[in-house]
Chains A and B, each alone.
Chain A
């Protein structure tokens, strides 16, 4: 009932994506991560700090007329690895997707260390961050091995 009530805090969407179970307070980061914070071409609804049985409290985002791509899902894993995603078509859930960080984040984000070899934008090998822990999420650059500051990392999206 709580979940249903939460979903009705904003109007149902006809087509688009619902991102649920975002850790409380992280929704604005998710918008930034998906480059939706300055995008005025699609309607975005956002609820923050609503009650959740699973998480205590959570954020939810609804994006109209847009279905998230795999590369966007990979990005999302950086701030909301446990979120759930529903693709909505004609007011119904057409697909449920999960974010899966895997063992490595490849070509999603650039290492935050200013002296890493990957700072040269002309170097062609892929940007690779290894997942060394999932809880809390800890990432290290494959090349320079520096641990990554997650708050800084979202500004380094490719």
Chain B
């Protein structure tokens, strides 16, 4: 494996092994133990689109492991605004760094960058395409909550058309035999080519507009924000904005161990009343971004995570 562009770059064994590494790295992510595994290594953070959690968690992950980070900075003040191609930007950063994390508004940009680069690329989101590092932290959180990834019933709800997190996650869950329920407004359905792909891989997929009526079946409810920035037309956005608003009172019939995840930021799709229920896991999920990315950075830089880490009885 050179870089991580889509979940197809990882086998199920790779996924299990990286999640095991992440589990052992928890005390390092919390700052309880200092483990400079990546000392002398430099991460290039290339975010051509706004990012808070992904960019910051990559930076934290690198620094917790003793590595360093260089940032592209604001695209408006970088050479991109002067018309530099992605190819040229990658050639430059490739020479400065040992590994690159990038987000780009154009789909396919991460694969393109990997073809242009010698160092590994970690795809932090390419248009409405893929977001595999988010998927790894989602899987880590699901495994933490249920002790397994196998055979769960997972509802993916909200913007399934433009939401790259749900595209990557659904591909991964199917590989672990999970049953998927896609709940979205008609306009924001999962792209048909993805549904077709999943079914070709033997997936049990249900598409519905009814979120609340299906919650009682779920082991995981993965909510997403309806992304205003992906709509060219304001009227189209207005038709679907606020389509789903999950409230604590909607969870009365949910399984007791059901967990609610969200890649964040949220707008109004999860009411704050849900935060204090036993089902809410989205803030732990955001923290897990650090530990999952620590494990991925080590894997792609061929640095072995020790089998035992001091304070590692998490």
Tell me the A residues contacting B by CB distance below 8 Å. 111, 113, 115-120, 122-125, 141-147
Contact = CB atoms under 8 A, between A and B. Distances in A.
Given A123-B112, A125-B115, A146-B193, A115 B85 contact: no
A124 B113 CA distance: 11
Given A117-B126, A144-B106, 18 more contacts: A113-B107, A115-B106, A115-B127, A115-B128, A117-B86, A117-B108, A118-B112, A120-B106, A122-B85, A124-B85, A141-B108, A143-B108, A143-B109, A143-B111, A144-B108, A144-B127, A145-B129, A147-B193
Interface string B104-128: 1111110110011000000000111
B107 A115 contact: yes
The 6 A-B residue pairs with the shortest CB-CB distance, nearest first, are: A143-B108, A144-B108, A144-B107, A117-B106, A117-B109, A117-B108
Residue from A120, A123, A143 having most chain B Cβ neighbours under 10 A: A143
Nearest to A118: B108
B87 A125 contact: yes
Contact of A146 (B104, B107, B115): B107
A141 to B, nearest CB: 6
Given A125-B115, A143-B112, A116 B107 contact: yes
Interface in B140-167: none
A117 B112 contact: yes
Contacts of B112: 117-118, 123, 125, 143
A123 B127 contact: no
Nearest to B111: A143
A144 B129 contact: yes
A123 B193 contact: no
Nearest to A128: B115
A144 B104 CA distance: 12
A123 B108 contact: no
Contact of A123 (B85, B107, B126, B129): B85
Contacts of A144: 106-108, 111, 126-127, 129
B253 to A, nearest CB: 38
Contacts of B127: 115, 144
B104 A117 contact: yes
A111 B85 CA distance: 18
B128 A120 contact: no
A123 B86 contact: yes
